[in-house]
Structure 1
Amino acid sequence: MEAVKEESDGSIWEGYVDWRKRPAAKGRHGGMIAAGFVLGVEVLENLAFLANASNLVMYLRKYMGFSPAKSANHVTTFMGTAFLLALLGGFLSDAIFTTYYVFIFSSFIEFLVRLI
């Protein structure tokens, strides 16, 4: 009886389910708490990426013998490539392929790079 009432109010998201495969209700699923969690994870991910990039500059300068300008240039080129490839992967997974196929292809490329 409750499900019929929710459907008539329009509070069920059509085509979306929760982790137990039940219809997702607008008042119980998603919202600002979930968006805040995703935003917090993104901020922490970017902080970790930038911390690794600054450590990479120091590594290239100290252990690999690059000049400070050259090591910073290599790291910014790496960062730009990483961000652009993320955009390309997102576009390909949304527009052409499914997310699963893009993930498998990216994993295969990463595996090949690690072999080299």
Structure 2
Amino acid sequence: MELEAPQVTTWQGYVDWNNKPALRARHGGMLAASFVLVAEILENLAFLANASNLVLYLKQYMHMSPSKSANNVTNFMGTAFLLALLGGFLSDALFTTYRVYLISAVIEFLE
């Protein structure tokens, strides 16, 4: 009885950083997904921390009432979340996901 060698399968159309075919056993999977999940959690924490600091800034330095400053911040957050939906549509319909990610990162960095 012969033992079968494990089959090495590749991701069709994908390469690694050395421009070699990406192997299913070594690339992607749960490890890559966990990095993306952690990055998304940290980004949301930073976004919410900045939003709470923005409420205090509008209240103390711009001399807005607490309700008006909170309303302005929630309007800003709603606009940011709606623009994320627009970015998702554009990445699926017109551009690549990577280009939309870079454009949105530049816009977020400029804010």
Q: Shared fold by TM > 0.5?
A: yes
* DSSP 3-state at the match of 2:12: strand
The answer on whether the counterparts of 2:87 and 2:100 sit within 8 Å (CA) in structure 1 is no
Matched residues, number: 104
Letter in 2 for 1:43: I
Match of 1:26 among 24, 27, 40: 24
Aligned pair 1:77/2:88, yes or no? no
1:52-89 residue CA offsets vs partner (Å, 9 max, x unmatched): 00000000011111111110000000001011112101
The answer on whether the counterparts of 2:9 and 2:23 sit within 8 Å (CA) in structure 1 is yes
Cα deviation for residue 33 of structure 1 reads 1.0
Distance 2:56 2:105 in 1: 28
Letter in 2 for 1:25: L
Indicate the residue corresponding to 2:15 in structure 1: 17
* DSSP 3-state at the match of 1:15: strand
TM norm structure 1: 0.77
Distance 2:40 2:105 in 1: 20
Indicate the residue corresponding to 2:90 in structure 1: 92
- Which structure shows the higher helix fraction? 1
Distance 1:15 1:106 in 2: 26
Cα deviation for residue 91 of structure 1 reads 1.0
Distance 1:32 1:59 in 2: 40
Unmatched 5+ residue regions in structure 1? none
Distance 1:102 1:35 in 2: 17
Unmatched 5+ residue regions in structure 2? none
Q: Percent identity?
A: 64
CA RMSD of aligned residues (A): 2.6
